[in-house]
């Protein structure tokens, strides 16, 4: 689980850090440059967390139930609830990105690609023998 420094930042410092993320992403010339930037800045865990949050928002907007989202993505109800609350409170950024992403076919293709990726990941995991506990 990622953690942040115990040293507290002011609201202004947090806003400046957030703006620097936007600036760096904005000045990426293309998708490849942006991918390279994210690869340099984010750990695998952070990419997974961010990707799951995006997928949660997509599935909530599509009308999927918490149960279906939890089962599909392997996330907790509290994570789903957190994203749901952000969408209710504002959600302009997520909705704008989803709108620009495009039609329902694109969203379905994204979900299918995500499902395939998860299945491939699970298949690639080493097989673990089940050893029953002694009574």
Which carries the bigger pLDDT value, residue 108 or residue 92? Answer: 92
Look at residue 9 and tell me whether its pLDDT is greater than 80.
Answer: yes
Give percent above pLDDT 70 in the chain: 83
| Sequence-distant (≥ 6) Cβ neighbours of residue 56 within 8 angstroms | 69, 73, 75, 79, 80, 83, 84
CB contact set of 59 (below 8 Å; sequence gap of 6+) = 68, 69, 72, 73, 111
Q: Buried b vs exposed e over 102-127: b needs ≥16 C-beta within 10 Å?
A: eeeeebeebbeebeeeeeeeeeeeee
CB-facing half-sphere around the CA of 101: CA atoms within 13 A: 17
* pTM given for the model: 0.71
pLDDT at position 85: 96
Q: List the CATH number of the domain containing 91.
A: 1.10.1270
Is residue 130 domain-resident?
no
In this prediction, residue 16 has a pLDDT band, given cuts at 50, 70 and 90, of very high
Overall domain count for the chain: 1
Residue 36 covered by a domain: yes
pLDDT exceeding 90 applies to what percent of the chain? 26
39 located within any domain: yes
Show the domain range for 108: 14-124
Q: Do the domain assignments include residue 72? A: yes
Whether residue 6 lies inside any domain: the answer is no
């Amino acid at each position: 689980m990622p953690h942040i420094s115990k040293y507290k930042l002011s609201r202004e410092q947090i806003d400046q850090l957030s703006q620097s993320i936007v600036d760096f992403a904005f000045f990426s010339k293309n998708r490849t440059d942006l991918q390279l930037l994210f690869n340099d800045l984010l750990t695998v865990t952070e990419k997974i967390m961010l990707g799951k949050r995006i997928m949660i928002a997509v599935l909530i907007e599509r009308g999927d139930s918490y149960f279906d989202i939890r089962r599909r993505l392997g996330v907790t109800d509290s994570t789903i609830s957190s994203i749901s609350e952000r969408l209710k409170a504002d959600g302009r950024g997520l909705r704008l990105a989803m709108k620009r992403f495009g039609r329902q076919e694109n969203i379905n293709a994204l979900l299918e690609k995500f499902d395939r990726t998860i299945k491939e990941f699970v298949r690639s995991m080493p097989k673990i023998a089940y050893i029953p506990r002694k009574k």
